[in-house]
């Protein structure tokens, strides 16, 4: 049989080499975000740009394109995984080949310099210094999006969204978000009214960084994360990077609010569990990769919001804090921790927002991104536009740039088109949990013991194990029973939980 798919197997070998280099590139990025000194930044950015250019060159070479063409007639002899893999390779090649090496290098340098500048600017509340860096990134993103748009025959912003959330159209996202914009303001008001009479105790005792890290490690191990194939570190912005056998997750620490750090760990561990449970056989092939960031975010949010802000889990957490870290008292009771974790109130910082107001943070960014990528606004316009939308959607105006348009890493890092994946992922997570609970009645009991077996089994069997074998619509149906993202399931979940 192998001689009948000889060209396809050669193609797999090429992809494996590219995948190895991409993995190394991820590790270099992780090192830059966690370990690198500011004096080393300039040479590192050039090194990363060179590596990215090399990967792009291999991915768009004539030899690579010829191998794809030679493999296409062999499809009748391929199994379902190989057919899906070939289709993904062809799609990626067609997208990459329309981006010139000069554009790729410029994007890498622009985003690398901008991301590094952002860390300092965010810390110093200095938006003005970041403006030229952002404009350079925006201009490069527009060039790349335009090239992709012409090749794919998609609107310019759709071409960027597709690279993070495959096959998802902006028109579909807009219709989903219109439902949320209609339903959420009234829901937020009702929940705020209900919670106004609830008594809770704010956390006042500082918890040092090393203790917070130990708590985080304990929880991520309980969640099923394998520390023999991964690690937890500190960065300016929490993230997860890596593949099945080497997953790096990060968090940031606030000694006066250990819940912020812990839930960043839980969120990133959800991502890490997805990575660690992808199909091993196709580890270095596109078909073995995650199915886009909406599904990826569903995996982090099902852990963070669905599982770990449940009363059952907070009871377990309270016991863990008392037994293993000697942290106790009325403010650390399961009931009080639950009330703190489920407070609904408009706030400035997206990553710390409650799950009811969170979608409005994303919708704001989704709408601004479209104006950026369509050339309607420049970086200097961001603060005023941002603040006006915050006032419109959440009723508050940021008191600083760092609490406003400087808070996220995504735009400085060139990740325009990513934000919709967060709320799409939140809705998918509610749909997945809705179906999983119907099949796993022990889940709540397990969470009260700090056990995630039933949930992990469901996610592995119905989503993780498929990698990118299925289309987005097919994978959604496999894991939720439905073919389309349904915002009403999400709204009903919020009503049941909070009202």
Compute the distance between CA of residue 433 and CA of residue 463 in angstroms, rounded to an integer: 12
pLDDT score recorded for residue 439: 87
Q: Are 367 and 386 in contact (CB under 8 A)?
A: no
Q: In Å, how far are 78, 196, 383, 427, 430 from 239, measured between CA atoms?
A: 36, 34, 25, 21, 22
Buried b (16+ CB within 10 A) or exposed e, 201-225: eebeeebeeebbbebbebbbebbbb
pLDDT score recorded for residue 1: 61
Fold observed for domain 170-498: 1.10.1370
Buried b (16+ CB within 10 A) or exposed e, 145-170: bebbbeeeebbbbbbbbbbbbbebeb
pLDDT of the chain, 499 residues: tens digit per residue: 667 899 999 999 999 999 999 999 999 889 888 988 888 888 888 888 888 889 999 999 999 999 999 999 999 999 999 999 999 999 999 988 999 889 988 998 999 899 989 999 999 999 999 999 999 999 999 999 999 998 888 899 999 999 999 999 999 999 999 999 999 999 999 999 999 999 999 998 999 999 999 999 999 999 999 999 999 999 988 999 999 999 999 999 999 999 999 999 999 999 999 999 999 999 999 999 999 999 999 999 999 999 999 999 999 999 999 999 999 999 999 999 999 999 999 999 998 899 999 999 999 999 999 999 999 999 999 999 999 999 999 999 999 999 999 999 999 999 999 999 999 999 999 999 999 998 877 888 999 999 999 999 999 999 999 999 999 999 999 999 999 999 999 999 999 999 9
Answer yes or no: pTM beyond 0.85.
yes
Buried b (16+ CB within 10 A) or exposed e, 12-39: bebbeebbeebbebeebbbebbeeeeee
Backbone angles phi, psi at 478, to 5 degrees: -60, -40
pLDDT score recorded for residue 262: 96
Compute the distance between CA of residue 132 and CA of residue 130 in angstroms, rounded to an integer: 6
Three-state DSSP class for residue 437: helix
Q: Are 387 and 404 in contact (CB under 8 A)?
A: yes
């Amino acid at each position: 049989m192998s001689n009948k798919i000889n060209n396809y197997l050669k193609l797999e070998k090429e992809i494996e080499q590219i995948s190895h280099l991409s993995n190394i590139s991820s590790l270099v990025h992780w090192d830059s975000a966690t370990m690198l000194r500011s004096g080393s930044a300039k040479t590192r950015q050039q090194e990363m740009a060179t590596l990215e250019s090399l990967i792009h060159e291999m991915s768009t070479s004539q030899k690579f394109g010829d191998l794809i063409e030679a493999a296409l007639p062999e499809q009748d002899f391929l199994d379902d995984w190989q057919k899906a893999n070939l289709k993904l390779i062809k799609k990626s090649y067609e997208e990459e080949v329309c981006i010139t090496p000069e554009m790729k290098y410029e994007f890498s340098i622009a985003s690398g310099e901008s991301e590094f500048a952002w860390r300092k600017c965010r810390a110093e509340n200095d938006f003005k210094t970041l403006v030229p860096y952002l404009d350079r990134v925006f201009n490069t993103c527009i060039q790349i999006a335009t090239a992709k748009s012409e090749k794919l025959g998609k609107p310019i912003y759709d071409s960027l969204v597709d690279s993070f959330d495959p096959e998802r159209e902006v028109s579909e996202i807009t219709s989903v978000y219109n439902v949320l914009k209609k339903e959420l303001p009234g829901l937020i008001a009702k929940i705020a009214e209900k919670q106004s009479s609830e008594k809770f105790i704010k956390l006042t005792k500082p918890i040092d960084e090393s203790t917070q890290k130990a708590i985080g490690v304990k929880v991520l191990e309980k969640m099923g994360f394998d520390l023999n194939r991964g690690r937890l570190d500190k960065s300016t912005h929490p993230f997860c990077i890596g593949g099945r056998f080497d997953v790096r997750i990060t968090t940031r620490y606030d000694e006066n609010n250990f819940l912020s750090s812990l839930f960043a760990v839980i969120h990133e561990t959800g991502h890490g569990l997805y990575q660690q449970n992808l199909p091993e056989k196709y580890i270095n092939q596109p078909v073995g990769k995650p199915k886009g960031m909406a599904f990826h975010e569903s995996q982090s949010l099902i852990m963070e919001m669905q599982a770990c802000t449940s009363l059952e889990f907070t009871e377990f957490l309270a016991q863990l804090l008392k037994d293993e870290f000697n942290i106790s008292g009325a403010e650390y009771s399961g009931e009080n921790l639950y009330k703190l974790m489920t407070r609904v109130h408009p706030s400035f910082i997206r990553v710390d927002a409650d799950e009811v107001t969170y979608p409005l943070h994303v919708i704001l960014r989704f709408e601004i991104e479209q104006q950026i990528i369509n050339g309607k606004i420049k970086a200097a316009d961001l603060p005023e536009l941002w603040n006006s939308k915050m006032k419109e959607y959440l009723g508050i105006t940021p008191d600083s740039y760092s609490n406003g348009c400087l808070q996220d890493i995504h735009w400085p890092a060139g990740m325009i088109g990513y934000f919709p994946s967060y709320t799409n992922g939140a809705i998918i997570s509610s749909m997945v949990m809705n179906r999983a609970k119907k099949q796993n009645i022990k889940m709540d009991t397990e969470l009260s013991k700090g056990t995630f077996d039933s949930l992990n089994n469901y996610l592995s069997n119905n989503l993780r194990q498929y990698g990118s074998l299925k289309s987005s619509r097919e994978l959604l149906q496999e894991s939720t029973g439905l073919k389309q993202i349904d915002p009403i399931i999400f709204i009903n979940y919020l009503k049941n939980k909070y009202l």
